[in-house]
Structure 1
């Protein structure tokens, strides 16, 4: 069995750099994996990184967890470490020794950063005990729910607040509505339905509502949950014949925050139970905040009466962040990491990473890790080197020609109509949408885009971009169509 790390590593600068590599890996996994998976399998791991970064050893609490992590996550972790470091990294899994010793390790705390702990602490974590309260009121988000234990866990992440959410035109209306709900739950905007693509900040916003309400009213009964967990709870209630306990848990809440309700599709009994919970909560003037990847009427295989309930309060969209907002997010998040990112670097990254906040954060982590490992100042050149894979994939996948073909296919017109002088609405509208997407998703200038659309003047392109951008804020159906096209183009 591999030796555990000795206490000398705690004072070794090489060990600190090694933990920076593991922390960068953890932060990426926290973004990529569902919260419950990350907290259950990844968060308790203890890492030992070789001084030359050639090998990372992960210590696991027991044989079952070791086998599961090897089968489910080892390849992903290995590839991620190699991607972050830029060279091959050997990954090894080992059982943590069971005897009580006082050697120092590092493990992630609730905010994703790392905290030194003793082996006794790590051993307890491996046995399922929790030492990190992410909600700030005694409810841990780091262990899966155990209804039989009788303890109520709100599952909130204390770091996701209104104060840590960068505001911009893309999320201003949703943020304003969410703050209103947090200040006056049970009144207007009930339910609040927030929709948008992956990684745009929907989850951040619902956590912020819960954290603000608890700050104002510490005894409020708040629950954040992913729709998949609700499905799981319904199944368990059936298996264990514990529907009274299930109803007591969900029907007694003051605030229910539920992510990704599109996962209820085709699950009839789950939809029935959620409808009952929905009605019970509204009857007692409790508030419900939901998120989805599409607006209520766009949900597939959801009962009509449930869709009508979703649509009965306020429905707001979160859009992909505009350039200035992306720049602000990068500078703020770099500052949280203790690093000042030059504005010109932030602009370079923001111009090249457009889709969502999650990808923006991933790009920032790569740049910070690349800067630390190579001991170089952050510059545009360093950012270009750190993001070379991402930039090459983006440049290869999204071209004006690809946009024209995708939009033409979607609206069932000929690609040749993109360049033609025809002006009927059935052609002009898709052409304007394609021009808008070309400006949003490529580095082409307005004159270059105009040239690729049959030699049109740049003012024609500018008019199309402004028209579609403005209508996107007003027209739900257009916004949804653009979401579909953007996700298709980004693969």
Structure 2
């Protein structure tokens, strides 16, 4: 959101402009799991113009306390940016039965079907439609190619399928649906497909677009009565690459228009490639007929990168920057940064900036110094106790079950997962971990660690669950 030179009058619509913008900004700043856990459940409870008091509601006391502690300052910054003046932001419990305030209709609201618009024809183009334009270029990043994509067990199937689609667009795996957590390489792969096709067929009509931009195009087409032009553009593409389609959630008109575009493109043997943070059938707020279409082609997961892959990524990217990194240093960094590739790249940028500024070589000690703030935050936030609570919450058991001698499967397995994560994410020894799990012997912890590590190597669902818990711990 940009600063406004003339702050808006605080009329009844103003708080909703702020709220929509703030939620949209946080959806881009946070990982999908963090956004879904902390921001999505919030509601705008009230706005008192005379006191310039805006009240945000949280569903329970735990989330209320966390939001106040973690996001209050960010909400205040966004309020000052939007209103051009300080706003008092209050956080409260949104008790069952309480109702959030509802916005009055505005031009930026999600459009509803309009028979008059649908019946427009090219022979009778309005002035508004003449003014409606869509950026008619691919939006591809030329640096994101198959050659620059580091492959490992976590993404080798997705890469192989992407290469197959790039060589046979519209015939192999149409549509192709890639899903996985933030920063795992989904966007890189779909850009690589687009860049390959553009090289093979320079005149191909290709468009990469983030789902939020597609929503904006639908809104503008609705406002300017220009759906004919909108449809002519999107229905005529040879390759449509649409990123983060989970942002379509709850937007009925956007979903309707995308359904028509989807059907037209597949009918024309054009390729459609979609990414999401979630498996299609697990997406909330998406029409069943769209989910059915998404599931009709090839659905491929991209998992969090394993240790060896993280090491390879660091070494390759450092070499590309002209500053070689030894395997020892890469292992040190990779062991501390586990969640995604984007986090690794950020750490690498910090290290490279440090060595260039100080004229040093890349050593473990230099890496430790360059990343001290990042490492201290992680070490401070993640403890065995935090892991036990996060795992217990995820699997809907009691924290006390982590220490108990109970052994039913619904308790024993989460306990083993928590032990595995404690070994992976903390500096605790096996005996120390065993002590924190009710005085268990270190051999019990070792058995749990090996068992979960072996299962994780071939169980994508378990891998996904552990990744989600890690993201929650780092929220």
Compute the TM-score of the two structures, normalised by the length of structure 1: 0.67
Cα 1:437–1:150 shift into 2, 3 Å: closer
Counterpart position of 1:330: 314
Distance 1:147 1:483 in 2: 46
Distance 1:464 1:351 in 2: 20
Q: Are positions 1:465 and 2:449 aligned together?
A: no
Match of 1:240 among 214, 217, 224: 224
Counterpart position of 1:375: 359
Counterpart position of 1:392: 376
* SS, match of residue 300 in structure 2: strand
Match of 2:214 among 216, 230, 243: 230
Q: CA deviation at 1:399?
A: 1.7
Distance 2:131 2:370 in 1: 45
Structure 2 matches for 1:334-345, cutoff 5 A? 334-345=318-329
Q: CA deviation at 1:445?
A: 5.2
Q: Are positions 1:415 and 2:399 aligned together?
A: yes
Cα 1:449–1:71 shift into 2, 3 Å: same
**Higher RCO (C-alpha 8 Å, min separation 6):** 2
Structure 2 matches for 1:108-187, cutoff 5 A? 152-187=136-171
Q: CA RMSD in A?
A: 2.5
Structure 2 matches for 1:42-441, cutoff 5 A? 152-441=136-425
The answer (yes or no) to whether the contact 2:430–2:442 under 8 Å persists in 1 is no
The answer (yes or no) to whether the contact 2:184–2:302 under 8 Å persists in 1 is yes
The answer (yes or no) to whether the contact 2:390–2:473 under 8 Å persists in 1 is yes
The answer (yes or no) to whether the contact 2:241–2:273 under 8 Å persists in 1 is yes
Distance 1:398 1:464 in 2: 22
Larger mean CA deviation between 185-194 and 354-363 belongs to 185-194
Counterpart position of 1:18: none
Q: Can you give the 5+ residue segments of structure 2 that lack an aligned partner in the other structure? A: 1-27, 32-77, 83-129
Distance 1:257 1:443 in 2: 42
Distance 1:167 1:426 in 2: 35
The answer (yes or no) to whether the contact 1:334–1:341 under 8 Å persists in 2 is yes
Distance 1:241 1:465 in 2: 56
The answer (yes or no) to whether the contact 1:432–1:465 under 8 Å persists in 2 is yes
The answer (yes or no) to whether the contact 2:417–2:448 under 8 Å persists in 1 is no
What does the per-residue CA deviation read over 1:193-240, in whole Å, with 9 as the maximum and x for residues that have no partner? Answer: 111111111110110111111222222211100000000000111111
Distance 2:200 2:314 in 1: 30
The answer (yes or no) to whether the contact 1:294–1:480 under 8 Å persists in 2 is no
Cα 1:241–1:415 shift into 2, 3 Å: same
* SS, match of residue 266 in structure 1: coil
Cα 1:309–1:170 shift into 2, 3 Å: same
Distance 2:244 2:283 in 1: 11
Q: CA deviation at 1:422?
A: 2.4
Runs of 4+ in 1 over 6 A off after TM superposition: 31-34
Cα 1:387–1:304 shift into 2, 3 Å: same
Q: Are positions 1:490 and 2:474 aligned together?
A: yes
What does the per-residue CA deviation read over 1:161-217, in whole Å, with 9 as the maximum and x for residues that have no partner? Answer: 010000001111111111111111112321111111111111101101111112222
Q: CA deviation at 1:448?
A: 4.9
Cα 1:468–1:404 shift into 2, 3 Å: farther
Distance 1:318 1:446 in 2: 31
